[in-house]
Amino acid sequence: MAREADGAKSHQKEPTGSQMTDENHLARLVDLGIALSAEQGREELNQKILMAAREFTNADGGSLYLVNREESELHFRILVNDTLDTFFVSGREAEKPFPPLPLYDDEGRPNYRNIATYVALSGKAINIEDAYCAKGFDFSGTRAFDAKTGYRSKSFLTVPLKNTRGTVIGVLQLINARDDKGNVIAFDPVIEPIINALASQAAVAIENSRLLVAQRDLMESFVHVLGHAIDAKSPHTADHCSRVPVIARMLAQAAVDDKRGPFSNFYLTDMEWYELDLAAWLHDCGKIVTPDHVIEKATKLETIHNRIHEIRTRFEVLRRDAEIDMLKRQLAGEDAGVCEADFNARVSELEAQFALVADANIGDAEIDTDAIYALHDIAEQKWTRHFDRTLGLSWAENERLSDTELATLREPGPENLLMDREDHIYQGFNRGELYNLSVPHGTLTSEERQVINDHVVITQDMLAQLPYPRELQRIPAIAGNHHEKMDGSGYPRGLTGDDMGILEKVMVIADIFEALTAVDRPYKRPKLLSECIAILADMRDKGQIDNDLFELFLVSGTYLDYGRKYLRSEQCDEVDIEQFILSK
């Protein structure tokens, strides 16, 4: 016998010992509503819903299905059965008792044969006294299950889970109601309103949980999109925003796992792990406004392109001038051998000078004062320009030239071999050739370095504007303090170790280690692990990074685990970590 459960019956039964009074039902529903609203774990929420429904009905078993995102199938989520001592939860790969139930057939017709899909499609509850006698539904799967397990599925109460818009989002199915002695009986119609009320509460709780997950997924996806966009902005820092979170998580996990060392009391909640991941992905978000020519500056003369080619052309002009001078002297009757010797000497001088300029342009080694003086001497040499230097300029380039310069540059005249012109200074940068070549170390001028450093300030400003929930309030600090140092020598705030939390110190090491080990930086060759650890150890000795975290980074093998997975095999050399451990 099957009937639609409308929740309204004219007769009442006396409650047995296994049944609760109406007052108990109401109190239990109130308590359950509070519990469901507080539960955020999806699996725990599903269990709580099913357990409560079984408690109300004294059902031997039950299962919960949820409609998939495409609203095409019912997906199994949880099953419990006391007699069979069975407890199944979806997602456990070795335990998949039921496949999804299609809501429509191949031709798009609604599937009313299965009781669960009928309830999902119709939105009506069904109470069946005996499945083997019921008509209108296909219970062949139930019979096959019973034949396999020796179970007898008899009474069914199947109710829809409707959200606040009245849309069915799932189905709750209870099997085999029992009396006080454990005998299987039909589900009492009196309890149906309670189960319907429970189903409504459950649907709201599930929908709220889904909304929270959707919001979290949306935020996480947006953060990842932003991180990947920053990585994609420059092929020379590709993967930095996605790899720093990997190192940060690995080091944080090592700290959580440290049960006897200085981090024995350190742990992270799920939200704190989430907070760390988001902060790590966002730590360089300010670079989205950093000019490309600064990020891409692989050599000192690079702007959009490496200007060493222009300077080499000038050297070529001087060499050709020397050759012409040699030939003119020979034609004038001077000794050919003397002329050739002077020419060869001049060529050797130019080659040495250009080698010095080219070497200074690389920026991978510090140039001393003598080299800078030599560059100034080289710069004073003259070459003759014959063509109008104002031709082919953009409107913006012409605007940077004064009227006097425009008149002068249109006529042929001598120019320095290396030039620092007034029109080299614009948009806050000095692009002067001699000025840039004289940078003592690296490729960036002081103003370019400041712009790079300012990405942290911009990161902090950007992140400070977001309305974080209470659990994520530390994201700006964790993300924005990754260039601070324990001794106060970092930037932008000059914080010390006492001003920073453990996760901020984790980010400092993660950011430095990724930059040291990166293989895509144009201004340096890929470093070996041993070199990177030695540099970190030197920073530790100077008090710039946290010693406890650095030693944990070594003894936990985090550096090596990351290296084996993300670095080139030739970078992963042997590291004698014992020489770097102070707390022996």
450-469 pLDDT per residue, tens: 888 888 888 989 998 989 88
Tell me the percentage of the chain whose pLDDT exceeds 90. 54
Is residue 22 scored above 60 in pLDDT? no
Residue 44 confidence (pLDDT): 72
- Torsion, Cα 371 372 375 376, to 10 degrees, reads -140
Residue 176 CA from chain centroid, whole number: 48
CA distance 186 to 178: 8
Furthest-apart CA pair in the chain: how many Å? 135
d(CA 379, CA 372): 11
Q: What is the pTM of this model?
A: 0.69
Say what the pLDDT of residue 201 is.
80
Confidence bin at 93 (pLDDT 50/70/90): very low
Q: Please answer whether residues 12 and 190 qualify as being in contact, where contact means their C-beta atoms are separated by less than 8 angstroms.
A: yes
Q: Which residue has the tokens 């790590």?
A: 280
For 219-263, write each residue's pLDDT tens digit.
899 999 988 888 887 766 678 899 999 999 999 999 999 988 899
Is the pLDDT assigned to residue 7 strictly greater than 50? no
Cβ–Cβ < 8 Å for 132, 12: no
Contact yes or no for 36/45 (Cβ under 8 A): yes
Q: Please, which pLDDT band fits residue 389 given cuts at 50, 70 and 90?
A: confident
List the single range of 222-226, 255-259, 276-280, 475-479 with lowest mean pLDDT.
Answer: 222-226
Give me the pLDDT at residue 262, please.
94
pLDDT at 55: 85
Residue 15: band (very low, low, confident or very high) from pLDDT cuts 50, 70, 90:
very low
Residue 309 or residue 304, greater confidence: 309
CA-based nearest residue to 73, from 100, 106, 96, 91: 100
pLDDT-based confidence at residue 46 (cuts at 50, 70, 90): confident
Q: Are 421 and 385 in contact (CB under 8 A)?
A: no
Measured at the CA of 314, the angle between CA 310 and CA 320, to 5 degrees, comes to 140
Rounded to the nearest integer, the mean pLDDT of the chain is 87
